């Protein structure tokens, strides 16, 4: 019996399903869950991408609710980034 058949589509792969009576199958399920948790924790680019997507969704929702403050925030961020790039370029040029 493969470990994939034990999991439903709703169960995260870092959870050991209940109802496994075979000790070998239980050990395999626990090992698979532990490895999946380690893989998730160590995959920093994927986690950063998830957080970035959450931020984009929140920013778009804010822009739809409050367009003027969102525009002001976007201009402020662009100004800050432009100033930082200008400052770095000026330091390099010296």
pLDDT digits (tens, 9 = 90+) for 56-84: 999 999 999 999 999 999 999 999 999 99
3-state helix, strand, coil in the chain (%, to 5): 75, 0, 25
Tokens of 70: 């969102």
pTM for the model stands at 0.52
- How much is the pLDDT for 14? 73
- How much is the pLDDT for 63? 94
Q: What is the number of H-type helices and E-type strands within the chain? A: 3, 0
- Interatomic CA distance for residues 50 and 44, integer angstroms: 10
Percent of the chain, pLDDT > 90?
52
Indicate if the pLDDT at residue 34 is higher than 70: yes
Domain limits of the chain?
3-42, 45-93
**Residues counted in the chain:** 94
- Interatomic CA distance for residues 59 and 42, integer angstroms: 27
Indicate if the pLDDT at residue 18 is higher than 70: yes
């Amino acid at each position: 019996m493969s470990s994939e058949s034990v999991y439903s589509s709703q169960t995260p792969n870092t959870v050991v399903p209940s109802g496994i009576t075979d000790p070998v199958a239980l050990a395999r399920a626990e090992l698979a869950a532990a490895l999946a948790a380690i893989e998730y924790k160590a995959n920093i680019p994927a986690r950063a991408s998830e957080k970035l997507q959450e931020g984009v969704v929140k920013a778009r929702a804010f822009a739809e609710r409050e367009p003027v403050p969102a525009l002001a925030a976007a201009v402020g961020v662009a100004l800050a980034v432009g100033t930082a790039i200008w400052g770095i370029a000026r330091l390099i040029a010296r």
